[in-house]
Amino acid sequence: MTAFECTLCGKCCMHAGGELIEVEKRLTSRDFLCRQKIIGGTFRARIEERFLDAFRDASENKAHPSWCPFLRGLPGEEGKYVCTIHNSRPLICRSYTCCAMRIFGPDGREVGKVKGRRSLDTGDAALRRCWDESIAPLTTDDDIVWRTEVTGTLERAGYRVEAYE
Ligand code: SF4
Ligand code: SF4
């Protein structure tokens, strides 16, 4: 398996961030007491030294209330976003992987992704059919067994699969 490489697109923190994290109190110029809204409990967030300047510019956040309060654009890199509390981000963010697998067709083009735990994201009708017929019926709860079976099934159907840890 390959290690997942985040492209810093920021989508995960734009769509769910605001529902996930709430700032309760500013403790110092860099530290915040925060609440994890979904699983409850508080944690201390510390803005990384390297992101202090980026953090100070909250103009984009004001226009996007669904964003996590700690998400910022990466200065000088259009379309890239960073978690300014990366080292002190909560467990729920540490364990999140947006893409469990990438699926490539015989010509090497990416034709689909497995998002979250087991959801296929594809616009490719043949892959969708293959998934619905051969993969959706798999019943195992064991994710490692499931990944092995999915990879084998897709490879026999002519696809190449990159599965992430
Ligand atoms: S984890 Fe995924 S959705 Fe989130 S920023 Fe990285 S590539 Fe984008
Ligand atoms: S704490 Fe960081 S990783 Fe978690 S939602 Fe906010 S910006 Fe994203």
CA nearest ligand 1 atom 6, residue: 6
Among residues 75, 94, 113, the one where a domain terminates is 94
Give the model confidence (pLDDT) of 26-65 as tens digits. Answer: 999 999 999 998 888 999 999 999 999 999 999 999 899 8
* 156: containing domain: 99-163
Is there a single domain that holds both residue 71 and residue 22? yes
65 Cα to the center of ligand 1, angstroms: 19
**Residue pLDDT, tens place only, 118-159:** 889 999 999 999 999 999 999 998 988 999 999 999 999 999
- Ligand number, closest to the Cα atom of 17: 2
Give the predicted TM-score (pTM) of the model.
Answer: 0.77
Q: Number of structural domains, the chain?
A: 2
Do 74 and 106 lie in one domain? The reply is no
Closest CA to 127 of 109, 148, 105, 147: 105
- Chain segment 94-127, per-residue pLDDT in tens: 888 788 899 999 999 999 999 877 889 999 999 9
- CA-derived radius of gyration, the chain: 19
Residues with CB under 6 A from ligand 1: 6-12, 98
Residue 86: inside a domain? yes
Our mutation pick for probing the ligand 2 site, out of 12, 70, 84, counting the most ligand atoms within 8 A of Cβ, is 70
Supply the pLDDT for residue 40: 86
65 Cα to the center of ligand 2, angstroms:
14
Tell me, yes or no, whether 60 and 109 share the same domain: no
Question: Same domain, yes or no, for 106 and 84?
Answer: no
Both 83 and 118 in one domain: the answer is: no
- Of the three residues 94, 123, 145, the one that is the final residue of a domain is 94
Instruction: Indicate whether 3 belongs to any domain.
Output: no
In contact, 165 and 101? CB cutoff 8 Å:
no
